[in-house]
């Protein structure tokens, strides 16, 4: 029994977080059950599609410029466990807030083969923080 493979399979299937892998073109190659729950697309609908599936239109140009640079150079501004926060889209067009980590994937020749990201929906927390900031600003304005 290969314990690493078993652990990996269990994490992919059981994680509440979305785990999404892409190839060097940005096409989705892995879409776990957490991604199905978070974004609403089945694995069959997502695999083979562009990441544009979940990237808001106004952020796509910036995303793809960074993605192409990362694929060409093999380096990312993000990594080593950095946590990124971005808006994303669900199947129904709803914007959600996600935090994620990203890692590079390499082929047998150590050439960049794509990426894998672990994403968590933090929309509720983001909205709560926004409301707290609004209330604090309102309170500061009324006490001046």
Q: How many CA atoms lie within 13 Å of 71's alpha carbon, on the beta-carbon side? A: 16
Structural domains of the chain, with CATH = 3-142 (3.30.450.20)
Predicted local confidence at residue 21, as pLDDT: 97
Residues (pLDDT < 50) of the chain are none
pLDDT digits (tens, 9 = 90+) for 38-69: 999 999 999 999 999 999 999 999 999 999 99
pTM value is 0.84
Q: Is there a contact between 39 and 18 (Cβ–Cβ < 8 Å)?
A: yes
DSSP assignment letter at 25: T
**With the C-alpha atoms ordered 10, 12, 14, 15, is the resulting torsion angle positive or negative?**
positive
CA-to-CA dists, residue 101 to 6, 68, 143, 144, angstroms: 22, 18, 41, 41
The per-residue DSSP string of 41-92 comes to --HHHHTTSBGGGTS-GGGHHHHHHHHHHHHHHS--SS-TT--EEEEEE-TT
């Amino acid at each position: 029994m290969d314990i690493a493979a078993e652990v990996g399979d269990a994490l992919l299937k059981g994680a509440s977080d979305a785990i999404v892998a892409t190839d060097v073109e940005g096409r989705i190659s892995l879409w776990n059950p957490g991604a199905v729950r978070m974004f609403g697309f089945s694995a069959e609908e997502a695999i083979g599609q562009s990441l544009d599936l979940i990237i808001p239109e106004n952020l796509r140009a910036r995303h793809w410029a960074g993605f192409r640079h990362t694929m060409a150079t093999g380096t990312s501004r993000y990594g080593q466990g950095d946590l990124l926060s971005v808006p994303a889209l669900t199947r129904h067009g709803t914007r959600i807030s996600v935090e994620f980590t990203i890692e590079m994937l390499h082929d047998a020749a150590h050439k960049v083969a794509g990426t894998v990201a672990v994403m968590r929906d933090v929309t509720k927390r983001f909205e709560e923080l926004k409301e707290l900031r609004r209330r604090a600003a309102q309170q500061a304005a009324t006490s001046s």
